[in-house]
């Protein structure tokens, strides 16, 4: 699976791969890093930059007395905003393909 992921990234010509990491493989490998096996493979073998997003563990940075991690909840503090599309002239359009395009 992980080999296929890197092949598809290259085939589609993606500029960046953004993926999550559950980090279960890191404990089995007894490494200091917290990447899972698929994200670790992708970081080392994909042709484009790889951004790994990891959801924090319950115990990471948690104050045992209060049960508070010290930070605000991301959903409460930050809101997602849509970015308006910029109108382009007909001659300036670049061809764009995403993963759902049939080529």
Residues 93, 103: Cα–Cα separation, whole Å: 19
Is residue 20, in this structure, part of any structural domain at all? Answer: yes
| Alpha helices, H only, 1-103 | 2-12, 24-29, 37-45, 74-77
Structural domains of the chain, count: 1
Is residue 103, in this structure, part of any structural domain at all? Answer: no
Is residue 6, in this structure, part of any structural domain at all? Answer: yes
Residues 92, 60: Cα–Cα separation, whole Å: 48
* Band (7; pLDDT cuts 50, 70, 90): very high
Reported as a single tens digit per residue, the pLDDT across 52-103 is 887 766 555 454 444 454 445 555 556 666 667 766 555 555 566 566 665 5
Segments forming the whole domain that contains residue 3: 1-56
User: What sign results for the dihedral spanned by CA atoms 87, 89, 92, 95?
Assistant: positive
Predicted model pTM: 0.48
């Amino acid at each position: 699976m992980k080999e296929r992921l890197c092949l598809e990234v290259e085939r589609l010509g993606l500029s960046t791969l953004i993926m999550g990491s559950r980090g279960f493989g890191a404990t089995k490998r007894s490494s200091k890093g917290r990447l899972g096996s698929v994200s670790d493979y992708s970081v080392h073998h994909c042709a484009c930059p790889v951004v790994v997003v990891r959801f924090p563990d319950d115990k990471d940075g948690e104050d045992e007395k209060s049960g508070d991690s010290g930070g605000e909840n991301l959903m409460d503090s930050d809101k997602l905003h849509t970015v308006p599309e910029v109108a382009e002239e007909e001659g300036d359009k670049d061809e764009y393909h995403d993963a759902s395009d049939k080529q």
